[in-house]
Chain A
């Protein structure tokens, strides 16, 4: 299971002249940092763009998802079931369909090849998921807590901001984590909605490398390693949220 990950790291340190050797070197004995130098040389702008897009997507997702989750979990709007259903269906729409639709709409709006456009598109991967996670989590907050805030004279908004949101920290971490990772690793929107843009995310950086005829696998794999760093860091920091996120998103019990 972990071999491909190891291999990626191994190849990223391999010298170009050793790349096509038989047998392939199982350890980077003649290790080189050339691949990583290439990353520093070519890929920094891509990484910066991805970071920016990731953070903006997280912010947008949280702003939209948290109040909706609160409404669905605690305020029980009439017709909330329909909204829930719409969110479930939204998660099932293939990215290519969204991409074609966005392309057509973005041309008209003039946001094709811009970062805000890409952020909007990327957020569609995470928003329905975010609402469902928040709903599942906030349903578990005891009603008494909110009743108490009400007795203290807090408005619904105030209760939401000062009581419900702080208590829902775990849900916020889970949603942010996934929103960031999905935006970071998005390829389909980047390649369709930002292919003419000056600022492109790291997935396009890798794609360009692969597209080159002289395929420098050392540099490609080094970029791949660097592009995986956020996933690795987040995994270490937020292990239990990852598992919680998957299960809460899929199985309700």
Chain B
């Protein structure tokens, strides 16, 4: 604590006096300036500060290589080899060209899984964004309890996914689930939400939307905060109604924020696995199978793991995520430049 206070005190005391010199040395010698003697002989102060900078960044660089690049490489490598449990442990699995990929493409699960992945992703992000935005606009009108309620609405997003998924699984239970009970009150006959092929995908999408709303709510809300209030006042003076204000002002001004929210949603939703796996395991049949669950099923869901095809599927999944990611990064650049 003492060093902390000393540092802060010294900073504020000398801050004003140090300003001019600090500014002058800003270009070339950021941190190297603190020890002019250390690098004076051989290295220029600039390269010393470069070294210091990379020394601070080095752990994360090493980390990225060891814990992202290596697993990614291993995954890709697996997808090109013919693996059995034995060769997996002992090594020496043969390259089989692209046989795993061919197998995946020819698998009857391929097209349904692709379709489910796309439907799951786009329906989820579309609906959760629309609902998130509606709630954000609603909460923006600073009424009593607005802050408390908004905080409570974050809960679904912070719960462990396995908790949300099992809660939904029980609510959607065919015989004793509360959803079917509620439907029976309005005269709808019970639906086999999780055990019938035509409803399983709908069920996992509903649960996923519920989990995704808070995230959209928070980001859109922060976007609303950056819209200057006097625009609305001017619109009111011109006689604009609430609906007009939303479509003519809020919606267009939120466009950059909306783009980022949707793209992040895309990236997150592509990799959703826990919810589907826990609620339906991709079934019944393959009726709610996505690339993420299919890959898991192949690699870890069988008695004998099929790592070759499992990692081939996940390589396809990462291609999809990368496309989404590149779009995201481009959009963010455009937003920064505008």
Would A187 and B274 be within 8 Å (CB), given that A1-B156, A77-B50, A88-B325 are in contact? Answer: yes
Contacts of A188 in B (CB 8 A): 273-274, 296
Is A247 an interface residue, CB under 8 A from the partner? yes
Residue numbers in B under 8 Å from A99 (CB-CB)? 296, 299-300
Assess whether A151 is interfacial by the CB under 8 Å rule. Answer: yes
Interface residues of A in 95-143 (CB under 8 A from B): 95-105, 107, 120-121, 123-124, 127, 131, 143
Residues of A within 8 A of B318 (CB): 93-94, 97
Bound together, the chains give a CA A124 to CA B18 distance in angstroms of 40
A173 within 8 A of B: no
**Nearest CB of chain B from residue A145's CB, rounded to whole Å:** 5
Tell me, in angstroms, the Cα distance from A242 to B215 when the chains sit together. Answer: 10
Please state if A7 and B171 are interface contacts (CB–CB under 8 Å).
Answer: yes
Contact A231 B155 (CB under 8 A): yes
Q: Give which listed residue, B10, B35, B160, B332, contacts A227 with CB less than 8 A.
A: B160
A64-88 interface bits toward B, Cβ cutoff 8 Å, 1 = contact, 0 = none: 1101101110111110100101111
Interface size class for chain A? 35 or more
A195 to B305, CA, bound (A): 14
Residues of B within 8 A of A7 (CB): 167, 170-171, 178
User: Smallest CB-CB separation from A182: which chain B residue?
Assistant: B160
Q: Give the complex CA separation of A77 and B52 in angstroms.
A: 8
Please tell me if A175 contacts chain B, counting CB pairs below 8 Å.
Answer: no
Of the listed stretches A27-35, A36-44, A202-210, chain B binds: A202-210
| B270 contact set on A, CB distance < 8 A | 94
Query: B129 to chain A: closest CB distance in Å?
Result: 13
Partner of B21, one of A8, A22, A147: A147
B329: interface (CB < 8 Å): yes
Residue A51 lies at the interface, judged by CB distance under 8 Å to chain B: no
User: Total A-B residue pairs with C-beta atoms closer than 8 Å?
Assistant: 317
Interface of chain B residues 156 through 190 with chain A (CB within 8 A): 156, 158-164, 166-171, 175-176, 178, 181
Inter-chain contact B176/A247, CB cutoff 8 Å: no
Q: How far is the CA of A124 from the CA of B325 in the complex (A)?
A: 18
Judge if B8 is at the interface, Cβ distance under 8 Å. Answer: yes
- B59 and A63 form a contact (CB under 8 A): yes
Cβ distance A75 to chain B, nearest Cβ, rounded Å: 3
For chain B, the count of residues having a C-beta within 8 Å of the partner chain is: 108
Contact call B60/A131, Cβ cutoff below 8 A: yes
The chain A residue sitting closest to B83, CB to CB, is A104
Report chain A residues within 8 Å CB of B176: 19-22, 24
Restricting to B93-109, which residues have a CB under 8 Å from any CB of A? none
Which of B71-79, B232-240, B241-249 is near enough to bind chain A?
B71-79
Alpha-carbon distance A187/B4, docked complex (angstroms): 40
Q: A151-B18, A220-B170 are in contact. Are A251 and B260 (CB under 8 A)?
A: yes
Q: Among A80, A145, A195, A251, which residue has its beta carbon within 8 angstroms of that of B11?
A: A145
Task: Indicate which residue in B56, B68, B73, B153 contacts A160 across the interface (CB closer than 8 Å).
Answer: B56
Q: Is the CB of A71 within 8 A of B53?
A: yes
Tell me if B10 and A247 are in contact (CB < 8 A): no
* Contact A4 to B300, CB < 8 A, known contacts A87-B64, A101-B70, A251-B257: no
Complex CA gap A150/B45 in Å reads 14
Question: B167 to chain A: which residues have CB within 8 Å?
Answer: 4-5, 7-8, 221, 224
B23, B30, B156, B168: most-surrounded residue (chain A CB, <10 A): B30
Complex formed: what's the CA distance from A166 to B171 in Å? 46
- A92 engages B267 (CB within 8 Å): yes
For residue A197, CB closer than 8 A to chain B, the reply is no
- Measured between alpha carbons, how far is A50 from B7 in the docked complex, in Å? 37
B166 with A166: CB separation less than 8 A: no
CA distance A87 to B65 in the complex (A): 11
Contact B34 A153 (CB under 8 A): yes
A207 touches B60 (CB 8 A): no
- With a cutoff of 8 Å between Cβ atoms, the chain A residues found around residue B201 in the complex are none
**Chain B interface residues toward A at CB < 8 A:** 3-4, 6-8, 10-12, 14-15, 18-19, 21-23, 25-26, 30-31, 33-35, 49-50, 52-54, 56-57, 59-61, 63-64, 67-68, 70-75, 78, 88-89, 135, 151-156, 158-164, 166-171, 175-176, 178, 181, 210, 213, 215, 218-219, 221-223, 226, 257, 260-261, 264, 267, 270-271, 273-274, 278, 292, 295-296, 299-300, 307, 310-311, 314-315, 317-318, 321-322, 324-325, 328-329, 332, 336
Closest 6 CB pairs between A and B?
A101-B71, A147-B22, A185-B160, A75-B53, A94-B271, A77-B53
Q: A residues touching B (Cβ–Cβ < 8 Å)?
A: 1-2, 4-5, 7-8, 11, 19-24, 63-65, 67-68, 70-72, 74-78, 80, 83, 85-105, 107, 120-121, 123-124, 127, 131, 143-145, 147-156, 159-160, 162-163, 166, 181, 184-185, 187-188, 191-192, 195, 202-203, 206-207, 210, 217, 220-221, 224, 227-228, 231-232, 234-235, 239, 242-243, 246-247, 250-253
Query: 21 A-B pairs, CB-CB below 8 angstroms?
Result: A5-B159, A24-B178, A63-B59, A75-B31, A83-B57, A83-B64, A89-B322, A97-B72, A97-B315, A97-B317, A98-B72, A101-B75, A101-B78, A104-B75, A104-B307, A145-B11, A151-B22, A152-B14, A156-B56, A166-B7, A251-B257
